[in-house]
Structure 1
Amino acid sequence: MTRRPARCVLAADVGGTKTALALARAEGAWPGIVSEHVYSSQDHPSLEAVIAEFLSRADARAHARDIAAACACIAGPVERDRATTTNLDWTIDADSLAARFGIAAVELMNDFAAVAVGIGRLEADDLETLQTGRALEHGARAVIGAGTGLGVALMSWTGGDYAVHASEGGHADFAPVDELQDGLLQYLRREHGRVSYERVLSGAGLASIFEYLSTREAPSGEIREALKNAEDAAAVVSTFGLERRDPVAVRALDLFATVYGAFAGNVALTVLARGGIYIAGGIAPKIAGKLKDGTLVRAFTSKGRFSALLSTFPVKLVMNPKVGLYGALHLARRLAQPTVHPARRRGAR
Structure 2
Amino acid sequence: MTNASKSFSLVADIGGTNTRVALAEGRNVRPETIRRYSNADFPGLETVLRRYIADENDVKPLAACVAVAGPVREGRADMTNLDWTIDKDTLARATGAATTAILNDLQAQGHALGHIADSNIMPVLKGNPGNQHAAKLVIGVGTGFNAAPVFETESGRVVPPSESGHANLPIRNAEELRLCEFVSTAHGFPAVEDVLSGRGLERTYAWLCSERGTPTELSAKEIMDRVSEGHDDIAAEALRIFIRILGTVAGNLSLIQLPFGGVYLVGGVARAVSPFLADFGFADAFRDKGRFAGFMGNFAVSVVNDDYAALTGSAAHLTELLAHQKPA
Pairwise same-fold verdict (TM > 0.5): yes
Contact 1:280 1:319 in 2 (8 A): yes
Per the TM alignment, residue 32 of structure 1 is displaced from its structure 2 partner at its CA by 3.8
Aligned residue runs from structure 1 range 67-216, under 5 A? 67-137=61-131, 138-159=133-154, 161-189=156-184, 193-216=188-211
- What is the aligned partner in structure 2 of residue 17 from structure 1? 17
Q: Secondary structure at 2:268's aligned position in 1?
A: coil
Q: Which amino acid aligns with 1:50?
A: V
Per-residue displacement from partner, 1:228-273 (whole Å, max 9, x unpaired)? xxxxx11111221232231111111111111111000000001122
Distance 2:279 2:110 in 1: 25
Query: Does the C-alpha gap of structure 1 residues 101 and 274 become closer, same or farther in structure 2, counting only changes over 3 Å?
Result: closer
**Bigger mean CA offset, 272-281 vs 252-261:** 272-281
Unaligned runs of 5+ in 2: none
For the 8 Å contact 1:24–1:34, the answer to whether it is kept is: no
**1:70 to partner: Cα distance:** 0.2
The one-letter code matched in structure 1 to 2:35 is H
| Counterpart-to-counterpart distance in 1, 2:135 and 2:120 | 21
* 1:200 and 1:208 in contact (8 A); partners too: yes
Work out the CA distance in 2 between the residues paired with 1:188 and 1:312: 33
Tell me the equivalent position of 1:251. 237
Q: For residue 193 of structure 1, give the secondary structure of its aligned residue in structure 2.
A: coil
For structure 1, list consecutive stretches of 5 or more residues without a partner in the other structure: 228-232
Amino acid at match of 2:29: P
How many angstroms apart in 2 are the aligned matches of 1:3 and 1:306? 54
- Per-residue CA deviations over 1:18-53 (Å, capped at 9, x if unaligned) read 21110123x4x8334551112222332211121122
Equivalents in 1 of 2:261, 2:139: separation in Å? 14
When residues 190 and 67 of structure 1 are mapped into structure 2, their CA distance, relative to the original with a 3 A threshold, is closer
After superposition, the Cα gap between the structure-2 partners of 1:254 and 1:3, relative to the gap in structure 1 and judged at 3 Å, is: closer
Q: Tell me by how many angstroms 1:105 deviates.
A: 0.9
Structure-1 separation of matches of 2:268 and 2:300: 21
Match of 1:230 in 2: none
Shift in CA distance, 101/246, structure 1 to aligned 2, threshold 3 Å: same
CA contact (8 A) 2:136 2:151 kept: yes
> Are 2:325 and 1:340 aligned?
yes
Aligned residues: 326
1:40 to 2:38 alignment: yes
Greater shift, 87-96 or 135-144, is seen at 135-144
* Residue in 2 that maps onto 1:293: 279
- More displaced, 133-142 or 200-209? 133-142
Secondary structure of the 2:82 match is: coil
Q: Percent identity?
A: 33
Matched residue SS, 1:129: strand
Question: Which one of 214, 220, 225 corresponds to residue 239 of structure 1?
Answer: 225
Instruction: Assess, with a 3 A threshold, how the Cα gap between structure 1 residues 33 and 333 changes in structure 2: closer, same or farther.
Output: farther
1:159 to 1:96, Cα distance in 2 relative to 1, 3 A? closer
Conserved in 1, the CA contact under 8 Å of 2:107 and 2:159? yes
1:204 Cα deviation from its structure 2 partner: 1.1
Give the 3-state SS of the residue equivalent to 2:189 in structure 1: coil
Tell me the amino acid that sits aligned with residue 140 of structure 2. G
CA RMSD of aligned residues (A): 2.3
Query: 2:311, 2:3 → 1: CA distance?
Result: 29
In 1, are the aligned partners of 2:22 and 2:29 still within 8 Å (CA)? no
- Residue 61 (structure 1) aligns with: 57
CA 238–271 in structure 1, closer or farther in 2 if over 3 Å, else same: same
Shifted more, 203-212 versus 175-184: the winner is 175-184
The residue type paired with residue 14 of structure 1 is I
Query: What's 2:29 paired with?
Result: 31
Residues 15 and 4 of structure 1, relative CA distance in 2, 3 Å threshold: closer
Letter in structure 2 aligned against 1:128: M
Structure 1 residue 165: Cα displacement? 1.4
Q: Distance in 2 between matches of 1:3 and 1:31?
A: 14
Task: Summarize the Cα distance change of 1:61–1:90 in structure 2 as closer, same or farther, 3 Å threshold.
Answer: same
Using the alignment, how far apart are the partners of 2:186 and 2:202 within structure 1?
A: 14
Alpha-carbon distance in 2 for matches of 1:191, 1:331: 37
Could you state the TM-score of these two structures normalised by the residue count of structure 2?
0.92
Query: Contact 1:10/1:24 (CA < 8 Å) preserved in 2?
Result: yes
Please give the alpha-carbon distance, in whole angstroms, between the structure 1 residues aligned to 2:162 and 2:207. Answer: 29
